[in-house]
Amino acid sequence: MTEYVRTKDLISFDVEIAEVIADDAWDDVEREDLSITCAATSLLGEGVLPWYPMTNTIPHQPMDRQIDPVTLGAMCTIIEGYVEEGFSVLTWNGCSFDFPVVIGNLAEDSEHRERMARICFENHVDLGFMMVCQLGYMAKLEAMAHVLGLVGKTPGMSGKYAPPLWADTSSGASAELIAEAEAMTGLRCGTREAQEFCIEYVTRDVEATKDLGRELEQWILAALSGPVIGEAPGLRWITNKGTLSKAKWTPQSFVLTDKSDVLFPTVQQCLRSIPEPKWPKGRRGKYYSWLSKYPTVRSKYLVVE
């Protein structure tokens, strides 16, 4: 049980990128090659701290295209400090996205790269990756938030609009996507106002993850009896096609006998304790195989799979 984490001991973070990536192109994208425009970190139950480029702070002028390594290093220092104090990180798909993107934007010689890779593996509850380990695929955070009665992400906003809103045409966005983003938000792409909206959006993403962690805890406590998860109703969500999912998801967790806490497994514990689904075989490997590049993780990584 040492690698299961109490929900009250979780912090969250989220990043937005500068590049436009087509939905069917993600399998060919190296996450560490992507650029970060803005980010946010949070403690469950406390405020959210936004991060953005600090190299151009002149009011009303657009900020730079991406966060500088120094600012990003400061964000990592805060995350690492919380982990040293006994906290772990909570994300939705952070193992496959947020962590490798952050590490790729740090300086090549930064000590944060190795530390963050180890945190991703050992001190990180990735609810989306947990779903992949259990079902073989992942629903969207927004869908899971809605099924639990939460607001979820910023209404009317989509992550695909964040790159053009921040960087306009330098994001690689088409004229059609730029026009769509401006119509949806009422903001001109590439302006300071649009960038500040992106910061609000990533802040809301962190809050949505934080809210989901809390609500899942309450759902588990209400749905289950006894100290160990057994049969449960399961959660069904609205798919991208607008239909109710056929599958049901019951998050892997451990409930204390007195129901004072719900504990979730880390990425490492998911790989050790959750049998890989028969279909699609080997799919979960693509979510964490990049970690094998880092020596302090590699030995444990190789033992797991």
User: HSE on the CB side for 139, CA within 13 Å?
Assistant: 27
In CATH, what number is assigned to the domain containing residue 63?
Answer: 3.30.420
Q: Which of 208, 166, 196 is nearest to 34 (CA)?
A: 166
231's tokens: 């049969």
pLDDT for 1: 44
Per-residue tokens: 133: 């380990």
Over residues 275-282, the mean pLDDT reads 75
Average pLDDT for 127-149: 91
| Any domain includes 181 | no
161 within domain boundaries = no
More confident residue, 23 or 34: 34
pLDDT of 32: 93
When divided into structural domains, the chain yields a total of 1
- Phi/psi at 271 (nearest 5 deg)? -70, -30
In a domain, 228, yes or no: yes
9-39 as b/e: b if 16+ CB within 10 A: bbbbbbbbbbbbeeeeeeeeeebbebbbbbb
pLDDT given at position 111: 93
pTM of the model: 0.91
Residue 206, judged by CB atoms within 10 A of its CB (0-12, 13-18, 19+), counts as buried
Q: Is the pLDDT of residue 31 over 90?
A: yes
DSSP 290: G
Classified as helix, coil or strand, 259 is coil
pLDDT of amino acid 229: 45
> What gap in Å lies between CA 139 and CA 97, rounded to an integer?
15
Residue 167 has pLDDT above 70, yes or no: yes
Euclidean distance between CA atoms 255 and 218, whole angstroms: 11
Tokens read off for 276: 């890989």
Q: What are phi and psi of 128, to 5 degrees?
A: -65, -45
Q: Is 159 within a domain?
A: no
Return the closest-CA partner of residue 227 out of 254, 260, 251: 254
The reply to whether 220 falls in a domain is: yes
Which stretch, 35-39, 132-136, 256-260, has highest mean pLDDT?
35-39
Strand order in the sheet with 10-17: 48-51, 36-43, 10-17, 88-91, 124-126
Asked if residue 119 belongs to a domain, the reply is yes
- Pairing of β 254-255 and β 262-265: antiparallel
**Average pLDDT, stretch 187-202?**
95
Q: What is the pLDDT of residue 171?
A: 77
Lowest mean pLDDT among 127-141, 174-188, 234-248: 234-248
Neighbours of 95 (CB within 10 A): 26
Mean pLDDT, residues 8-31: 90
* pLDDT at residue number 107: 87
- pLDDT for the residue 233: 66
The predicted pLDDT at position 260 comes to 66
- Residue 106 maps to a domain: yes
What pLDDT is stored for residue 230 in this prediction? 44
Whole-number percent of the chain with pLDDT over 90: 53
- Res. 193: pLDDT tops 90: yes
Which range marks the domain in which residue 246 is found? 4-139+202-304
Is there a contact between 42 and 207 (Cβ–Cβ < 8 Å)? Answer: yes
The answer to whether residue 80 sits within a structural domain is yes
Asked if 190 contacts 234 with a C-beta cutoff of 8 angstroms, the reply is no
List, for residues 203-232, the tens digit of each pLDDT value: 999 999 988 998 898 888 777 554 444 445
